[in-house]
Amino acid sequence: MAHFQDVSKQSSLHPKPAELVSQYGTAGFRANAKLLDHIMFRMGLLAVLRSKKTKATIGVMVTASHNPEEDNGVKLIDPMGEMLLQTWESYATQLANAEQEDLLTALKDVIEKEAINMSQEATVFVGKDTRSSSSSLSQAVLDGVSALGGHSKDYGLVTTPQLHYMVRCQNTQGQYGEATVEGYYRKLCQAFIQLIKNKASNCTDDQKHLSVDGANGIGALKVHEMESHLKKELLISLFNDGSKGKLNYQCGADFVKVQQKPPTGIEINPGERGCSFDGDADRIVYYYTDSDGRFHLLDGDKIATLISTFLKELLTQAGLDLKIAVVQTAYANGSSTHYLENTMKVTVRCTKTGVKHLHHAAQEFDIGVYFEANGHGTVLFSEAAEEKIQQLAENPSTDDERKRAALLLRNTVYVINQTVGDAISDMLLIEAILAIKGMTIQQWDAMYTDLPNRQLKVKVSDRRVIDTTDAERRAVSPAGLQEAIDSLVKKYRQARSFVRPSGTEDVVKSLR
């Protein structure tokens, strides 16, 4: 086949450094940008195969999220905008690791195992973040796509969640929205403006102000692009917009969450709301400093609590019997879990770290709110739930109070990017909820008090010696580790601690 010759020829322009071994981890491949050119080309090839197999458009995003500027990475996006199917992650790893002369064999192996019809058309959407290495690396992806005869659309600079959104729009024939960046702003901002029409009477104009730390990345660029669509209903002061500072350096959601302090480069008065995005804008955390100068972080757990409380209240007002659950990971603050289960009476599930695990667990409910403590999360509505909300909103005999709740629910569905966690979409939803409830960030923060906690990362020679169970909350190996943790934890009231191997770095992480 002509395409295989093209692949051979082209792949020699994207050679693999001999003996380099890489793995498709929790969030795709991540490494120093210099080690990724061959992987990008090969992910272009794999995306074509995945597209042929699913008979749908597939996405490839070039980003290393919150990692330093020197790094880069790549992940594939499946037809409904979700993460790549797990069984295909091992194909990604096999292709990435095939030595130059074995690449065609590795490729044919996937084709055979998946019984791929090579005459099927293939389309791949490609996007990239603002890293200096991203342009040439995304070109390598495009080269891979064309070498195997696939069609591609290059979206250029987009946030990770924007690319996920485009893929879903494309594969649902526009039902989810228009597969353009403008279409994305239009859908989300229109829903936001509809929501904000219901703002509480005590909500002052001052409360329209929000400071955003763009982590010197793609999120900053996109917030700027979106602003005109907000019709001054949200007044954003943008910091770390990439004009001076370095990507993710002493700023961004990961820095703020791990360091528990404000990002550098932001000017914000005591009591005012601020939020930080990460480097590819799929995470968000909020914060404020009180009059005593104390920093208060409102992380993914606080966000999940705010959103699920809002949704639960609306469901009650609308008289809709839909099952809502919150999905968290081992990192969730014990106070949030306690508050959700005992005060809010919502079901809480715990899964392993990594968006794909949370996403799948959330799909089991009518409404699944999932958030990692680090600020990555979204809300999923089942088809049946969306239908019930629509019907109620459109039914002429619905009484006023129920109708108001149904319309609020409907616009909440529209403002949310259900494909993956999305800092921009989450921000609009949170801002709308605070305005509708007439709530300050201090009141939101006071819903429950976080138990004090610390996160630690330790470099180890082989992280695989640690194996965990119970959604990563207990270590089963090495022998004696869990017993040692238990005996320490026993000394404190309401205490908890765990150790787990990272899925993205050569470290083990612990929380206490």
* Contact set with ligand 16G (CB under 6 A): 26-27, 65, 353-355, 372, 374, 376, 502-505, 509
Site string for Zn ion, 136-175 (x = CB under 5 A): ----------------------------------------
Q: Residue 278 binds which entry of Zn ion, ligand 16G, none, with Cβ cut-offs from 5 to 8 Å by kind?
A: Zn ion
In the bound state with Zn ion, the residue whose beta carbon lies nearer, of 65 and 134, is 65
With CB under 5 to 8 Å by kind, the binding choice for 355 among Zn ion, ligand 16G, none is: ligand 16G
Q: Is 231 left (phi over 0), alpha (psi -120 to 50) or beta?
A: left
Q: Per CB under 5 A, which region of 39-47, 65-73, 455-463, 468-476 contacts Zn ion?
A: 65-73
- Which partner, Zn ion, ligand 16G, none, binds residue 509 by CB below 5 to 8 Å per kind? ligand 16G
C-alpha 176/C-alpha 113 separation (Å) is 32
- Site membership for Zn ion, residue 69 (CB under 5 A): no
Question: Binder to Zn ion among 10, 51, 57, 65 (CB under 5 A)?
Answer: 65
Examine residue 68 and say whether the peptide bond preceding it is cis (omega within 30 degrees of 0): no
With respect to Zn ion, which residue has the nearer C-beta, 83 or 107?
83
Among residues 65, 134, 308, 425, the one annotated as catalytic is 65
Give the separation between CA 212 and CA 218, rounded to whole angstroms. Answer: 13
Q: If we measure between CA atoms, which residue out of 256, 296, 290, 293 comes closest to residue 276?
A: 256
What is the dihedral sign for C-alpha 484, 488, 491, 492? negative
- Residue written as tokens 């995304």? 138
Q: Could you tell me the smallest distance in angstroms from the CB atom of residue 432 to ligand 16G?
A: 25
Q: Is residue 254 involved in binding Zn ion (CB under 5 A)?
A: no
- Position closest to ligand 16G via CB: 503
Instruction: Give the shortest CB-502-to-ligand 16G separation in angstroms.
Output: 3
Instruction: Choose among 82, 91, 163, 81: nearest CA to 360.
Output: 82
Of 213, 233, 272, 282, the one binding Zn ion by CB under 5 A: 282
Q: Which range binds Zn ion by CB under 5 A, 45-53, 64-72, 178-186, 449-457? A: 64-72
By CB under 5 A, is residue 335 in contact with Zn ion?
Answer: no
Stretch of 281-289, 340-348, 448-456, 463-471 contacting Zn ion, by CB under 5 A: 281-289
Under the binding rule (CB under 5 A), the answer on residue 89 touching Zn ion is no
Nearer to ligand 16G among residue 309 and residue 351 (C-beta): 351
- Tell the smallest beta-carbon distance from residue 26 to ligand 16G (Å): 5
Q: Strand 274-277 and strand 209-213: pairing?
A: parallel
Per 3-state DSSP, the chain is made up of helix, strand and coil in percentages (nearest 5) of 45, 20, 40
Dihedral angle computed from the Cα positions of residues 215, 219, 221 and 223, in that order, rounded to the nearest 10 degrees: -120
Asked whether 429 and 304 are in contact (CB, 8 A), the reply is no
Question: Reduced to 3 states, what is the DSSP secondary structure of residue 44?
Answer: helix
Q: What is the H or E stretch that residue 8 is in?
A: helix 2-11
In the bound state with ligand 16G, the residue whose beta carbon lies nearer, of 274 and 377, is 377
**DSSP E strands, 201-359:** 209-213, 235-239, 274-277, 284-289, 295-298, 324-329, 347-351
The gap between the terminal CA atoms of the chain, to the nearest Å, is 57
**Spatial CA neighbour of 181 closest among 156, 214, 144:** 156
| Nearest distance from C-beta of residue 285 to Zn ion, angstroms | 12
3-state secondary structure of 351: strand
Determine the interface stretch with Zn ion among 39-47, 131-139, 277-285, 319-327 (rule: CB under 5 A).
277-285
DSSP structural state of residue 322: -
Dihedral sign for Cα atoms in the order 19, 24, 25, 27? positive
Q: Which is nearer to Zn ion, 398 or 417 (CB)?
A: 417
Q: Is 280 in the site for Zn ion (CB under 5 A)?
A: yes
Q: Give me the 379-418 binding string for Zn ion, x by CB under 5 A, dash otherwise.
A: ----------------------------------------
280 touches which of ligand 16G, Zn ion, none (CB within 5 to 8 A by kind)? Answer: Zn ion
Query: Residue 183 binds which one of Zn ion, ligand 16G, none, with CB within 5 to 8 A depending on kind?
Result: none
65 is a catalytic site residue: yes
Residue 418's binding partner, choosing from ligand 16G, Zn ion, none, with beta-carbon cut-off 5 to 8 A by kind?
none
Q: Which of these ranges, 7-15, 201-209, 276-284, 484-492, lies near Zn ion under the rule CB under 5 A?
A: 276-284
Question: In a 3-state reduction of DSSP, which class is residue 460?
Answer: coil
Dihedral over alpha carbons 254, 259, 260, 261 (to 10 degrees): -100
Active centre residues (catalytic): 65
Residues that bind Zn ion (CB under 5 A): 65, 278, 280, 282
